[in-house]
Amino acid sequence: MPAPSKPASTTATRDASETRQPSETRKSSSVRAATTRAGSTRFNPPTGSWADDLWQRWNATDQGRRRTEWIIVGVITLIAALVRFIRLGEPGRIVFDEVYYVMDGWTLSNLGYEAEWPEEQGKLWEAGNHDAYRQDPSYVVHPPLGKYLIGWGIHIFGAENVFAWRAAVAIFGTLAVPLLYLVGRQLFRTVAMAAIPAAFLAIDGHAIVVSRVSILDVFVMFFALLGFYFILRDRDTQRTQILEWVRQWRIREHAKDPSVPLENTPSKWSFTVNAPKERPTGPDWGPVLWRRPWLIAAAAALACCIAVKWSGLYFLAFFCLFTIALDAATRKEAGITQWLSGAVLKQGPVSFLLTIPLTGILYLLSYAGWFITGKGYNGIVATGVWDGNGSLWDWLKLSWEHFMSYQTQILEFHSRLSAGHPYNSSPWEWPFLLRPTAFSYNYIEAGTAPECMDVRCVEAVTSISNPIIFWLGTISIMFLLMLMFVKPTWQYAAILVGYFAGYLPWLLTGRTSVYHFYVIAWLPFMLLASAYAIQTVLGKPTDDRRDRTRMINIVAGFFVVVILVSAFFYPTWTGMRIPEPYFELTHWLKGWK
């Protein structure tokens, strides 16, 4: 007997199911037909846009999807590399705080500790006297890892090359772009949305400048973002393990007591100490998860962040608390009765053991040269308390005492630092881009160079972000804050945690001797928020074709403006010689001068 034919009404069901699929796999069509029960055909309004149709053609097969993704990531990364590495040797002199970090990186990688230099150390270095340093230790207030990276870059490419002084920061600044793409992929699950923040980071002036000047903050940004990526990966594995554990628990309990449901019923909030009216049907506390490789990887990345600058401690604290919150949310979703106490009191101590001891060990390892030589600042050899005679225990005890004394001095330095600087910027100004940092100015008088015969020229390196990108990021953070009260999601929370981990501690301390370029540490999270805002403006591929096309065109025009603004500011980010009137045109606000 032949199988019965499918009724015509299944067409509408199939169309409805297609619109529920992700935008990357949804089949876009300019005309969608639906059939009524009576058999008459009516046409729904066209949906999608020219961009959706083009995207569908590019991603029609698995091979096409992979090819498209590789091309997008490759192009964005190539652009990031070009704007960071081309003319990396310009300006051909020590710029801003390179006078500290290039010198310290070189002596640290040669001696195992930071050493003193004679007066005018920057001029000595620029003149090629790279071994003019002394053997006496130098008092430094930042951990060694970032300076090691700078020093190793100099060794690889040669101290005589200005390019080598900045090679490490340029490499890490470039790698941060595909890393941000991976973070966006974990959050958004789509190629297009992940590409937006990565592209913004590739062409933003703030990110470009700190990737072309040998300071430490680009390393802080990279390792904090790497730790965040691992936290997102841990969230997926953590969730899978909890849900599977609860599923197995329900199977076992259902076999004993059929009244225990096999389906998960999310637990409810409770603000009373009284027993619930209905007996809970889920497990009490849930599992303890020891197998957390991504959490351990996050701890290692954040240890590296702290070993560059102590501000990495804030990222460690915020991200660790965030993993507990994610754990509690998953337990609640799975129907675990004591979901909050299970996350805090049962899983929390285990997560602490998986992260904090490892972080401490790796931080100490970054000081390996200081411990081994004993010649660094406040070291046991440098202070004369160790002459090589004594037991291993004596050496360990003395080294530890002097190390802790050194760390205490660093803490006191940071807590009391209040020196003035022309480019000090209060943290409350940072979201508005009121006072970016000028790293270098060099004026060429009219008539002294072929390019400057009639007008004075300027070679400037200023950390002004692309203002369109930066202000969009600030607005988008505010947008996510509002959404958290309207329709909260873990993705919104994740971005806000990363942003406030970097920004809130500075805002609360009320410090005045700080600079706007510190924003680089949490700039990627502003860009992730921007992607969400743009997604909201774009709407969905299932929207009416005219509305969808109009919004696609508006956003495409916005991207063109962003690119043109970056091209306009690029000479002031890279020290290119430009006429002073052109330079003045880049001062949109009074504080940008």
List, as one string, the DSSP characters of 410-462.
HHHHHHH-----TT---GGGGGGT-SPPEEEEEEE-TTSSGGGSSS-EEEEEE
- CA 233/CA 185 separation, integer angstroms: 11
What would the two tokens of residue 340 be?
Answer: 């909050």
Q: Which residue has the higher pLDDT, 11 or 462?
A: 462
pLDDT value at position 264?
Answer: 74
Q: How many CA atoms lie within 13 A of 592 on its CB side?
A: 20
- CA 182/CA 216 separation, integer angstroms: 23
Chain centre distance of CA 301: 12
Which of 105-119, 209-223, 510-524, 575-589 has the weakest average pLDDT?
510-524
**pTM of the predicted model as reported, rounded to 2 decimal places:** 0.89
Q: What is the pLDDT of residues 206-239, one digit of tens each?
A: 999 999 999 999 999 999 999 999 999 999 999 9
pLDDT value at position 376?
Answer: 93
Residue 11 has pLDDT above 50, yes or no: no
- CA 133/CA 117 separation, integer angstroms: 4
Residue 526 has pLDDT above 90, yes or no: yes
Can you give the length of the chain in residues? 593
pLDDT value at position 5?
Answer: 41
Strand partners, 461: 440
pLDDT value at position 45?
Answer: 66
Residue 29 has pLDDT above 50, yes or no: no
The dihedral built from the CA positions of residue 173, 174, 178 and 184, taken in this order, carries a sign that is positive
pLDDT value at position 122?
Answer: 87
pLDDT value at position 12?
Answer: 36
pLDDT value at position 280?
Answer: 66
pLDDT value at position 276?
Answer: 54
Chain centre distance of CA 231: 12
Q: Which amino acid is at 578?
A: I
- Sheet containing 577-579: which strands, arranged edge to edge? 438-444, 457-462, 577-579
Chain centre distance of CA 128: 36
pLDDT value at position 14?
Answer: 35
Residue 133 has pLDDT above 70, yes or no: yes
Q: What average pLDDT does this structure show over 295-324?
A: 96
Of the candidates 430, 194, 245, the one whose C-alpha atom is nearest the C-alpha of residue 347 is 245
pLDDT value at position 283?
Answer: 81
Q: What is the pLDDT of residues 430-477, one digit of tens each?
A: 999 999 999 998 899 888 888 888 899 999 999 999 999 999 999 999
What would the two tokens of residue 85 be?
Answer: 């590495």
Mean pLDDT (the chain) is 87
491 Rama class: left (phi>0) / alpha (psi -120 to 50) / beta: alpha
Residue 40 has pLDDT above 50, yes or no: no
Q: Which residues, 6+ apart, have CB-to-CB distance to 509 below 8 Å?
A: 427
- CA 333/CA 331 separation, integer angstroms: 5
Strands (E), 29-148: 32-35, 41-44
What is the Cα Rg of the chain in Å? 28
State the first-to-last Cα distance of the chain, in angstroms, to the nearest integer. Answer: 85
Residue 6 has pLDDT above 60, yes or no: no
